Structure 1
Amino acid sequence: MNRLWKGRFRWGRLLLVWLVFLLLAGALFAERSGVQYTAAHVQIGALDHALTKEKALAGQAPVCLLLCDSRQVSVAEAKEQLEQILQDMKVPAEAADLADTAPEALPAFENYETIVVLVPNFEPLGLRLLDLMDWVEQGGNVLFAMTPEKCGAFDVVAQKLGVLASAWNCKTAESIVPAEGFLLGGGQRYELSDPFESSMAVQLRDDAAVYAVTGDEGVPLIWSTELGKGRVVVDNIGVYDKVMRGFYAASYSLLGEACAYPVLNSAVFFLDDFPSPVPEGDGQYIRQDYGLSIADFYAKVWWPDLVQLAERFGIRYTGVMIENYEDDTTDPPLRQSDTQPFRYFGGLLLRQGGEVGFHGYNHQPLVLPQTDYAGLYDYNPWPSADAIVAAMDELTAFQRAVLPYAAGSVYVPPSNILSASGRAILGQRVPQVRTIASSYLEDGTDLPYVQEFGVAADGIVEEPRIVSGGMVNEPYMQLAALSELNFHFVSTHFMHPDDLLDVDRGAAEGWEVYKGGLERYLTWLSTAAPGLRMQTASECAGAIQRFSGVNVTLQSAADAWTLTLGNFTDEAWLLFRANEGVPGRVTGGQLTCLTGELYLLKAENTVVTIERKEG
C-alpha cells in the first residue's frame, strides 16, 4: 500500500511538471505568435456619410468680411491662411479686395459681425478706414491680422488700435510667448524658424490687453483694446505660414462677447512600417548600446518602452503595415512567406488596444510613370492604375490572413508621397481605404501629399500628420504642435522603428535620447491639454467626419449664450472662449475649463445653452 502510494506520488509530481511545462509552452507560443487578441473596442465609429466643410457652410449668409489688398506684400499668403482658418472655424465669410474694388464700393460694414483686415498699409482704404473705426465704436469687432505699416493713415487711427507710440523700424520676432491663460501651452517660449524683422515696434496704451510677446525684448505680438461698444484685436507677428494658424484663430476668437468653433479633440500616434519585415539598415548603434540584433532590440527594448509610454499617457498606437521592402512595381504582387513578425508584432499592437492600417504592399509610393522625383528619391513608379490596385488588394488580403481582426482602413503614403493620379485611384478603386494620413506641413517640394483636416469630395477622410520622431522640441515642430493644439485641438504624431538605423533620424544619439524627446513631448501635451482624447487613426477619422460636417451659430444674451449646431449627428466638440462673462450651468452639453477663459465644450444636442453666472 505504501509502495503504491509512493508510485502515485512520483507520477503525480511528474504530471504536474509536464502540466507546468505545457502551460509555459502555451504562453510562449501565444506571445511569439501574437494571435491572442480580440478586436479593440472603438471609442467613436465612422459615419456612413459625412459632409465636406464647404457643404457644411453652403447657403449660410456671411457674417465676416475678409478685407484685403492683394497688391501689397504678403497679403496673398495671409489671405490663403485666413480663408482656411475661417472655414475650419465654420465662420461664413466673403472677401473684398481693394485691388478690384474702390474703397467707396466696399460692402457696408454694418452687414457683418466681424471684419478681418489684411491691408498692412492703410493708405488705400482712404476715408473707409475712419468708417471702419466708427463701425467698431458702434459695436463692431475687427481683427487687423497683418502687421501694420507705419504711415500717415496708421498714425491717424493708432490710438484707436491701442497704440500710444510707434517707430519706423521693425523688430525681429525671434520667438513668441503666449500669455498664460490665453492659449493651451501658454506661459512658455516658442522659437520661430528663420526669424526676421516682421513686427512693428510699438508702445501700447495701459488699457490694452496683451496676449503674446517676443521672448527677448517683449515686443507685443497680439493685443486687444476696447473701442466704444466694440473691440479691436491686432496681430503684430508678421509671419503668415501654415504653422502659425493657431495664433490667428485664437486672435479671431477674442472678438465679440464669446466665440465657439468646432474642433477634433483627438491625439493619434502612428508607427510607420509597423508591422513589417525586420527593417534593413545599419544596426551598429543598437549593437553598440544594447548588444542586440535589430529584431531582438525591437522585441526586448523598443516595443516594451513604447508600451510603458502608452500605459503612462493612455496612448493606443496605430501601426501601418508594409508587406515587403522589394522595389518591384512591374511584376504581379507576390505573397510574403515570412508571416511571423507580422503576427507577433501586429498581435502585440492589437492587444495593446491599437489598430493596424496600410502603408504599402512595398515601400513604393502610389505614383504613375509621369512623376518626377527631381533626384530626391529613387522610388519606382507603378506602370498603371491596375498595378496600383493589385498591390493594394494584395496588402489587404495579406493583412486579413495574418491579422484577422485588424480591419485596416487608414492608408499612410510612403515618405508622404502620393500623386494626384494615385490619390484618384484610391478614391475610385480601393474601397478598403477610407482615410489617408499624409502630411500637414509642406517640405519645400511638390512631392508630399499635403492635407487639411476634413472630408474630401469622394468621401475619404483627410487626416494629416503634424509632428514626427523623438525630437519634437525642434522649433518648427514645437510651434506646429502648439498651433494645432489651439486651432483644431489635435495632435498627430508619427515615428518609424528604423529611425534608430538612420543617423539623420537619431541613430547616433541612441534610443534613450530619442525616447527622452518623445517623453518630453508627451509630458508637454498631457500638461497643456489634459482632456485630449487619445485615439487610433480610424477613431480620429470619425472625429474628423463630425468636425467637417458640423456648423455653429452663437447668440449672446444678457443671461446666456445659445449655440445652435447644424448637421449635428451624435456629438460635437468645440472650443469656447468667454470674452465677457463667466459660464455657468450648461444644458445640452458638458463644459470643461482648459485655461483662462478658454473652455472645451462637448455638445450632446443640436442646441446648447450656457448660462452666465451673475456678478
Structure 2
Amino acid sequence: MKHKLHSWLDAFRWRKLLLIWAVFLAMAAILFAERSGIRYASTQFKIDYLPRTEVKPASIAMFGQPVTCLLLYDSGQEGTDQVKEQFDQILLDMKVGTQAVDVRTTALTSLPEFSQYQTVVVLMSNLDALGKRLIDLMNWVQNGGSVLFAMTPDKTTYFDAISQKLGVQSSAWEYKMVESIVPSEDFMLGGGQRYEFSDPFESALSVSLREDATVYARTGDKGVPLVWEHSSGSGRVVVDNIGIYDKVLRGVYAASYSLLCDATAYPVINGAVFYLDDFPSPVPGGDGTYIRRDYSMSIADFYSKVWWPDLMKLAQKYSIRFTGVMIENYEDDTVDAPTRQPDTQQFRYFGSLLLRQGGEVGYHGYNHQPLVLPDTDYKDLYSYRQWPGEDAIVAAMEELIAFQKIVLPHTDGSVYVPPSNILSAAGRQVLGSKVPQIRTIASTYFEDGTDLPYVQEFGVASDGMVEQPRIVSGGMVGDTYMRLAAMSELNMHYVSTHFMHPDDLLDVDRGAEEGWEVYKGGFEDYLKWLSAAAPDLRKQTGTECAGAIQRYSQLTVTTESTPTEWTLTLGNFVDEGWLFFRANEGTPGRVTGGELTHLTGNLYLLKANADTIHIEKKGA
C-alpha cells in the first residue's frame, strides 16, 4: 500500500515537472518564432499598383484637354521665372488646361481674348506691363470672369487705377515683413494656426482693404493680408500678397486658385506614409552616450525594448503602418562583388514585427552607398564612394533583393529610398530600366542647395516609375519650415510623407542630446496635428501610396455648372479617384457616382466611384 502511494506521489511530481517543462517549451517556441520571423503573413495592400504600361504621366494625360486658363507672365520682371516654375507645376497637378503667354515677347494687341477662358492667372508684379489690356481684363472680370493676381503687386499707375476693383481701399509705398502665415480655419486644412517662414523679408505690399473684401490668410503678428478675394461686378478677383514663391507654398497658391470659379475640382492623392530608413538593418554604429545616459542599456536593447514598443504604441493610437527600408550592411565596398550578410537575426526579428504590424519592407541599399557613378562629385560634403559602373549597381540591388527574400520570404519589396536622398541621373536610369522589382522611388520633395539630392514631384515618370517624394522628417516637425511644408502639401496634394531613422538618437545633429522622449514627443505632436488637420486622410504603406499616385497622376477632370447641379467628368478613371471640391457658390447636396466628405468651410473631399459625377445644389 505504501509502495503504491509513493509511486503515485512520484508520478504526480513528475507530472508537475512535465507541466512546467511544457510551459517553458511553449514560451521558447513563441520566442523562437518571433526571433525567426515566421509568425507573419504577407501584407495585404488596400490599393496596389496598376501595370506600368497602363499608367500615363500627368503631362501625357493632359493632351487634348480643354484649355480653360490663360496664364500671363512677363519674363523680364524679377521673380517671374521662379513663380512661373511653381505655377506650371501647380496647374499641371490640378489638371487645369493652361495657355501661357509671355507679354515680354508678345504684342499686347496680340494677346488672346479673355472670353476664351474661364480663368486668368497674372504672374507679374508690375502690372503696367499689361498697359490698357489690364483695363480690358478687369472689364472681363466685371462681366463674370475670374482672375488671380499671384504676385505681390507693385504700387504703380495701373495698379492704383484698378486697386478698388481688387478690393484695396488704400496702399502705401512700403512693404511689410512676412515672417509667418495664418490661413483662416475655413479656407485651408490646418488653418487657424500660425506657420513660420524660414527666411522672412519685407515682401507684402502695405494695403488697407475694403470692407467687402474677404481675407483668407494674414501674417501672424500684425495681420497683414496675404490672400484675399473680392467680387467685382459678377466676377471674382483673388490676390496673393505673399511675395514668396517657393515650392513650400504651393498649397496656398492652389487654394487661392480654387477660389476663382463657382466650383473648383482637382485630383488629389489622399495618403499618409511613414518611412523608417535603415530598418531593418544591422545594429548601426554610433555614439550611444545619450541612450546609456537615459536608459542604461546598449543600442540594440534600446531598439528592441524602448524604441520599437514606443513606435508600436503610436502606430496603434494613430492608425499608422510603417514602411521600413532595408540595408544589408554598412560596408563602403562598391568595387568587389556583393557578399551575403551572414547575421540574419536582426532582419528576421524586426522585419517580421514590421510586417505583423501591417507595414511594409522596401529597399534602402545593399550598403549605404548612393547609386551614383564616378562622374558624381560629392564636393567634400559626404564620404560616400561611387560605383564603378552600371553592372555594379545592378549586382548590388539584385543581392539586396535576394537577401530580403531569404530573411522575409513572404514579402516582395518594391519601394526604393536613396541613402541621404542621393541618386544620380545614371543611377535613376539603371533603376528604371534594369531593376524591375523597383516600382517607386521615395526620395525628397525639396532641394538642399546642392545638386546631389534626387528631388521629385508627385507623379509617374515616363518609364512608369512612381515618384513619391518625402516631405518632412524626424521628430522636430514643430512650428518650423517643415510644419509649413506639411500644411501646404495637405492642401496641394492631400498627402503627407514622413521619414525618420532609428539612429537619429545616435547623432547630436538629429536630436540625440535631447533624448528619445523629446524626439518621440515631437513626432507625436506632428501626428496629433495631422489627425486634427486631416482626420479623413488615409494611412498607407509606400506601395499603397504609390498606387494612389498612379491613379492621381493620370486623372483629369472637367467641371460644368448649371443652376441645379455640378457635373464632373473624369478622364483616365480606373477604379477609384480622389478630388478636392470647393463650392464657392451653392451648397452640395445629393451625389451620384461618388461620395462627398466635408473638410472645412466650403472645401470637400470627393471619392469618385465612376467617371461621371453629379452633385446637386441644395435648394436649387
User: Please, what TM-score do these two structures have when normalized by structure 2?
Assistant: 0.98
Tell me which residue corresponds to 2:391. 386
Candidates 15, 30, 33, aligned match of 1:30:
33
Tell me which residue corresponds to 1:417. 422
Whether 2:252 is the aligned partner of 1:257: answer: no
Whether 2:320 is the aligned partner of 1:330: answer: no
Please state whether the residue corresponding to 1:573 is helix, strand or coil.
Answer: strand
Q: Distance in 2 between matches of 1:193 and 1:82?
A: 21
Tell me which residue corresponds to 1:448. 453
Tell me which residue corresponds to 1:298. 303
TM alignment of 1:121-520, pairs within 5 A: 121-520=126-525
**CA displacement 1:393-449 (0-9 Å, x = unmatched):** 000000000001221000000000000000001111010101000000110110000
Alpha-carbon distance, 1:103 to partner: 1.1
Question: Which consecutive aligned stretches of 4+ in structure 1 deviate over 6 angstroms post-superposition?
Answer: none
**CA displacement 1:69-93 (0-9 Å, x = unmatched):** 0100100000000010000000010
Paired AA for residue 30 in structure 1: A
Count of residues in correspondence between the two structures: 615
User: Please, what TM-score do these two structures have when normalized by structure 1?
Assistant: 0.99
Tell me which residue corresponds to 2:82. 77
Alpha-carbon contact 2:473-2:500 (below 8 Å) kept: yes
Whether 2:5 is the aligned partner of 1:19: answer: no
Alpha-carbon contact 2:291-2:297 (below 8 Å) kept: yes
Tell me which residue corresponds to 1:53. 58
Q: Percent identity?
A: 67
Paired AA for residue 86 in structure 1: L
**CA displacement 1:40-98 (0-9 Å, x = unmatched):** 22110110121100111011231101100010010000000001000000001010001
Tell me which residue corresponds to 1:120. 125
Paired AA for residue 33 in structure 2: A
Alpha-carbon distance, 1:104 to partner: 1.1
Candidates 579, 584, 604, aligned match of 2:584:
579
- Measured on the aligned residues, the alpha-carbon RMSD in Å equals 0.9
Q: Distance in 2 between matches of 1:446 and 1:7?
A: 78
Q: Distance in 2 between matches of 1:35 and 1:294?
A: 25
Alpha-carbon distance, 1:30 to partner: 1.8
**CA displacement 1:158-191 (0-9 Å, x = unmatched):** 0000000000001011110101111001001111
**CA displacement 1:259-292 (0-9 Å, x = unmatched):** 0100010000000000000011010100010001
Please state whether the residue corresponding to 1:285 is helix, strand or coil.
Answer: helix
Q: Which runs of 5+ in 1 are unaligned?
A: none
Tell me which residue corresponds to 1:98. 103
**CA displacement 1:559-605 (0-9 Å, x = unmatched):** 11111100000000001111011111111111000111111010000
Candidates 598, 603, 607, aligned match of 2:603:
598
Q: Distance in 2 between matches of 1:564 and 1:134?
A: 31
Alpha-carbon distance, 1:15 to partner: 1.9
Paired AA for residue 594 in structure 2: G
Q: Distance in 1 between matches of 2:8 and 2:96?
A: 86
Alpha-carbon contact 2:43-2:411 (below 8 Å) kept: no
Tell me which residue corresponds to 1:40. 43
Q: Which runs of 5+ in 2 are unaligned?
A: none
**CA displacement 1:304-333 (0-9 Å, x = unmatched):** 000000000001000000000000000000
Paired AA for residue 383 in structure 1: P
